[in-house]
Structure 1
Amino acid sequence: MSFVAADVAILTIRGGGLAVLLIRRANEPFKGRLALPGGFLEDGETLEDAAARELHEETGFPAGESFLEHIGVYSEPGRDPRGRVVSAAFAALVPNPPRARAGGDAAATEWVPVDRALGEPLAFDHSRILGSAVEHARRRLEYTTAATAFCAKEFTVAELRRVYEIVWQTRLDPGNFHRKVTKVRGFLEPTGRTTTKDGGRPAALYTAGDLRWLPLPLSPGR
């Protein structure tokens, strides 16, 4: 008999870096091991419903206010010692998440820097799923305006650039980045105000526009 599960890599920016929400398993298998939140499909649920439920149980965050997307299916025999389990993996980009809370079979939850999490022996094949989720998040920023959700209501281009640098893990040329994002219609909306909170010359303040998908990819190498 086969079982179907949903696993969710919940990503956010914390402490100047990209972080993932991990649970510490309270039960076997892998009791005490760090893992991604996940669970078996319940009666009447779709896979998307199950992923949204896991997201809400661990963070209290509504799925509709995150960038929750399906990123793959993991079906290798032996991936779960309990038997044949096929998992649909999801990634959720969550700006300003509420305090995490342990739900289901989790003994505790914690936000872990992604670099450290990828170096941990996560339960099941969750290291592989997490790696795919991080790559998905990077592509999300390349093709959409999702990065603006991680800024304050009003923000500078430098603050927006920092979001990209954190997720892409690379330094971007300030002048090139400014030209790219300000010339895309609907990406940013100028407020007409400036700020000197970062020191130096006054910097223009913007709000997020109504554009969602970029007409051309915004990548680190361009």
Structure 2
Amino acid sequence: MDRPFVLLATRAEDLPADEEYALFLRFTGLPPERLRRIRLERDPMPEIDLDEVAGILVGGSPFNASDPWEKKSAVQRRVEAEMAELVDRVVARDAPFLGACYGVGTLGTHLGAPIDGTYAEPISVVDVTLTEAGRVDPLLGRLPDRFPAFVGHKEAISRLPATATLLASSPTCPVQMFRVGRNVYATQFHPELDLAGIVTRIHAYASYGYFAPDELDLTLAAVRRTPVTATGGILRAFVERYAD
């Protein structure tokens, strides 16, 4: 039997959590039985045998790696410890891994990269440009050199270590996608989102400080400024490359 992929999720709200899973299914092309969802905000991470899974996907998260330790909840602290142990094993094995947005925090922490608010981006659509390495990367070969993508994050990597390869950048956030080794990836933008999905998140996280209370309409307008159609291809390429 073909090995499943795993989606590690941390959203406590059922509507955006379920919609996130549905979007990963849609853009990867996987049936539910081949994409195992683990909700880390609810349950401890089970043992993940890297030989028994085809690849690991990480969804976005309301958690911020750069938050002061004393402000992190017990759940966030547990999740960060579990993710750190897993990422250590993933990088050591160069196992297939793709983290969307929260993946930058988890993989960046492993690298010792500075993660702070220098290049935070409001919820919006930005133009992302591939680097020379990005243009020849197996996950990005079908994308144009420049493409719009959904973003919205309070922290980012401010300087990428030399041990990682920069694949994509934008004027407002220099590290939009990078790779470690051959098979470990992270994106700052959200390849799993479509317009309906990000509108759901805007309403679900309206009180989380991503925008001011009177900026709801402006934020909704910002994600509608231009169609986002190419980024989901990254997830499909990931599955096509690593599926049994």
TM-score norm. by structure 1 comes to 0.28
Compare CA radii of gyration and give the structure with the larger one.
Answer: 1
Higher relative contact order (CA 8 A, sep 6+): 2
TM-score norm. by structure 2 comes to 0.26
Flag the structure with higher helix content.
2
Flag the structure with higher strand content.
1
